[in-house]
């Protein structure tokens, strides 16, 4: 991908006025922006002001924008099957294994984590791309995530789905918030999707 395009989006995201809101629990129910997102029976909902992204959702856009959704695109010269495949692949130092994981999507991609007991990244806080090490808490890794999502919109279906959400807040309410336990926190995920949509719209003008 053109480095100038990557830099342009990175600058946009860093200056984007992202309003990250807490999820409120009350009587066993969870709310976002005063709207129900999860009830006591663990049923998930989207609302008037937000789309709650989930691969298990019956709502089309909610499911399509999940990292697990089968969505082929090229990232750094590699043909990948989903965003999730990349996020799981970077946990492996071995390039051959990583390249195998890049071919997975859906729940299968998620469960490839079962084979990474020899590379427990949560202990080292190190991730890898084609053998090159990245610190989890580094600007280099944030740049990596920017390029990943920017690459994903090269898939016209993913791009169309993102634009189709209009101005609703893109939420992933079950996202982990601990940067030391996940390669993509709820904040990192939501900030990228919301800022990327705004970036696309601003460049259409």
Query: Do 55 and 69 form a contact (C-beta atoms < 8 A)?
Result: yes
Q: Which residues, at least 6 apart from 113, have a Cβ–Cβ distance to it below 8 Å? A: 88, 91
Q: What is the pLDDT of residues 78-93, one digit of tens each?
A: 999 999 999 999 999 9
> 10 Å Cβ neighbour count for 185?
17
Q: What is the pLDDT of residues 14-60, one digit of tens each?
A: 999 999 989 999 999 999 999 999 999 989 999 999 999 999 999 99
Q: Please give the CATH topology (third level) of the domain spanning 3-12+51-202.
A: Tetracycline Repressor; domain 2 (1.10.357)
| Verdict on whether the full-model pTM lies above 0.85 | yes
Strands 29-32 and 50-52: unpaired
Domain residue limits, the chain: 3-12+51-202
């Amino acid at each position: 991908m053109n480095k100038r395009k990557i830099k342009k989006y990175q600058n946009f995201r860093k200056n984007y006025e992202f309003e990250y809101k807490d999820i409120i629990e009350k009587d066993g129910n969870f709310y976002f922006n005063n709207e129900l997102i999860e009830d006591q029976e663990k049923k998930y909902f989207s609302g008037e002001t937000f789309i709650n992204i989930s691969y298990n959702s019956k709502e089309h856009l909610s499911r399509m924008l999940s990292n697990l959704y089968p969505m082929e695109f090229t990232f750094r010269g590699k043909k990948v099957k989903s965003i999730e495949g990349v996020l799981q692949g970077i946990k492996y130092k071995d390039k051959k294994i990583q390249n195998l994981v890049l071919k997975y999507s859906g729940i299968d991609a998620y469960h490839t984590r079962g084979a990474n007991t020899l590379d427990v990244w949560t202990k080292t806080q190190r991730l890898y791309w084609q053998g090159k090490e990245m610190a989890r808490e580094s600007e280099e890794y944030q740049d990596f995530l920017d390029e990943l999502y920017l690459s994903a919109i090269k898939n016209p279906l993913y791009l169309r789905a993102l634009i189709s959400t209009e101005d609703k807040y893109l939420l992933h309410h079950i996202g982990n918030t601990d940067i030391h336990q996940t390669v993509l926190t709820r904040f990192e995920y939501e900030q990228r999707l919301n800022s990327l949509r705004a970036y696309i719209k601003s460049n259409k003008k």
